[in-house]
Chain A
């Protein structure tokens, strides 16, 4: 059962991710990305990381992608006109990706520790929001505050960057 669910969600995620890369229309790419994120959130749930799954949907699929779509609409983009396919780019890309995937396969096959299955949890129903909250506010309080400042800074940066030049 678990395996079937895992396979279903992972294939979903990967298919839509491929759609992001290979579809022409940028709006289609954005939609595929949203679906990919939702698939990913499902995978997080299979890993018992409920809080992260919800945050993923809320922030990524809900906020970030909406922003993307806004910008696509703002810039009023059409489908990419077909330009000549540059062979050099495809070969280069192929080399890099091929190399990376082969590394990945080698590592995954060689380490026995990676072949372990999911170990059982102490309590099946854990309140992981509380647990994450405790870790976050107890051990990582300072980085948390800094993240707040970072968000403030990026907000200011966005406002500054998107000002129209006054003629």
Chain B
């Protein structure tokens, strides 16, 4: 029977993979996808806590509402973020993150 620890381990590994994507890939869009992975890992851990800490015999729906909000906000954030990336591409003609370094000392 999977325990809470199992679910949290999966969530943690998913988060690390997302973090790896952010730190190691140089394509902006893939970095963005890593960001989405991290958000989902958080969602998974929230839902598992909701299921494993029952409130009057039912799952703790506060956490699930929280996940609902996270998904909504993530969707809005993806829209805006992609619009920014498009604008950036129009300005710089590159999606390689190492070429975007004009804001430096």
Contacts and interface: CB of A to CB of B under 8 A. Distances in A.
Task: Please say whether the chains A and B touch (CB closer than 8 A).
Answer: yes
Contacts, number: 229
Contacts of A121: 54, 57-59
Interface in B13-70: 13-21, 23-27, 29-30, 32-34, 36-37, 40, 43-44, 47-48, 50-52, 54, 56-59, 61-62, 64-65, 67-69
B interface secondary structure, majority: helix
B102 interface: no
A83 B25 contact: no
A60 B41 CA distance: 13
A48 to B, nearest CB: 6
Leading 6 A-B pairs by shortest Cβ distance? A122-B57, A93-B23, A154-B76, A161-B83, A104-B12, A6-B2
A119 to B, nearest CB: 5
Size bracket, chain B contacts: 35 or more
Interface string A1-45: 011001100100110011011000010011001001100100110
Contacts of A83: 26, 96, 98
B5 interface: yes
Contact of B78 (A48, A51, A67): A67
B71 A60 contact: yes
Interface of B: 1-10, 12-21, 23-27, 29-30, 32-34, 36-37, 40, 43-44, 47-48, 50-52, 54, 56-59, 61-62, 64-65, 67-69, 71-80, 82-87, 89-90, 95-96, 98
B30 A26 contact: yes
B52 A119 contact: yes
Contact of B19 (A6, A97, A119): A97
Interface in A132-167: 132, 134-136, 139-140, 143, 147, 150-151, 154-155, 157-158, 161-162, 164
Of A21, A59, A150, the most chain B CB neighbours within 10 A belong to A21
A49 B59 contact: yes
11 contacts: A10-B10, A14-B13, A52-B47, A59-B72, A77-B27, A83-B26, A93-B24, A118-B2, A135-B64, A150-B76, A162-B83
Contacts of B76: 150-151, 154
Contacts of A134: 61
A135 B4 CA distance: 24
